[in-house]
Structure 1
Amino acid sequence: MDFILNKIGKYLDKHSSFDQQMTDLKRKLKELNGLMKDTESVMRTELQPRKKLKAEVQIWLENAERINGEVQDLDGRIGESNALTRQFYGEEVLKSIREIYELIIQHGKFHGGLVVDNPQWVGQVLSTTSLSGEAVKACIEDIWQCLMDDEVQKVGVWGMGGVGKTSIMKIINNQLLEETEKFDMVIWITVSKEMTIAKLQKVIASKIGVEFCGDEDETTRAGMLFETLLRKSKFVIILDDLWEKVSLERIGIPEPSVGSKLVLTTRSSDVCRQLGCIVIKVKPLMEEEAWKLFLEKVGHDILNIPGVEPIARSIAKRCAGLPLGVITIASCMKGIDDICEWRNALKELSLRQKSVSGIEDEVFRQLQFSYDRLKDPKLQDCFLSCALYPEDREIEEGRLIQLWIAEGLVEEMDSLQAEFDRGRAIMNRLVSNCLLEVFIERENRRTVKMHDLLRDMALHIAESRFLVKAGTMLEKAPDVQEWSMELEKVSLMNNWKLYIPSEMSPPMCPRLTTLLLSDCKITSTPEGFFEYMDALKILDLSGNPIKSLPQSLSKCPKLTTLLLSDCGINSILEGFFDHIDGLKILDLSENPIKSLPQSLSNLKNLTSLLLADCEDLENVPPLSNLRVLKKLDLQRTNIKKIPQGTENLVSLEHLNIGYFNKITEIPNGILSRLSCLQDLIIGETLINGKEVGGLKKLEILKGRFGDWQNLNMYLQAFHGREEPSQYIIYVGDLKWHAVFVNTRKLIGVSGCNIYAVQTMLPRDIEGFHIGDCHLDCSEGYPLFSRFIIFSLGSFSSLKFLQVSDCRNMKKLFSPSCVPLNLQVLRVNGCKQVEEIIAPEGGMVTMEFRLPQLSLLELWDLPELRSICSVGAVLVCDSLVEIEVLKCPKLKRMCLNLPQLHNVPPSAAVSLSIWIRPKEWWESVEWDGPHPKSLLEPFVRER
Structure 2
Amino acid sequence: MKKICQWLDIQVGYVHNLEKNLSALEKTMEELRAKLDDLSRRVTREEDRGLQRLSEFQVWLTRVETFENEANNLLIAGNGQLQRLCLLGFCSKSLILSYRYGKSVSMTLREVEKLNSKVFEVIVEQAHTFEVEERQLQSTIVGLKEMLENAWNHLMEDRVGIMGFYGMGGVGKTTLITQLNNKFSGMTCGFDFVIWVVVSKELQVEKIQSEIARKLRLESRFQQHKTDAKWHSLPVPRLYVRTWALKNQWKSRAENKGYDIIGNLVRASLLMEVKWYGTKNVCMHDVVREMALWIASDLGAQKEAFIVRAGAGLSEMPKVENCNVVRRMALIKNKIHHLSSSHEYLELTTLLLQKANLTNISSEFFKSMPRLAVLDLSYNGNLFELPYGISQLVSLQYLNLSYTSIRHLPRGVQELKKLIHLDLEETDNLSNIDGILSSLHNLKILNLSRAGFSLDCNILEELQTLEHLEILTIEIDLQQGLEQFLSSHKLTRATRNLTIRGMQLESSGISLPISMENLREFNIVWCSISEIKMGTICLESKTVSPLDNPRTSCFLSLSKVIILDCKCVMELTLLMFAPNLRDLSVKSAKKLEDVINKEKSRHGEKSGIVPFRRLEFLLLGDLPELKNIYWNSLPFPCLKRMDIIRCPNLKKLPLDSQSGKHGGNGVIIRYTVKEWIETVEWIDEATKTRFLRSCLHVSETQNQDNQPHSSVPT
TM-score (norm 1): 0.36
Higher relative contact order (CA 8 A, sep 6+): 2
| TM, length-normalised to structure 2 | 0.46
- Which one has the largest radius of gyration? 1
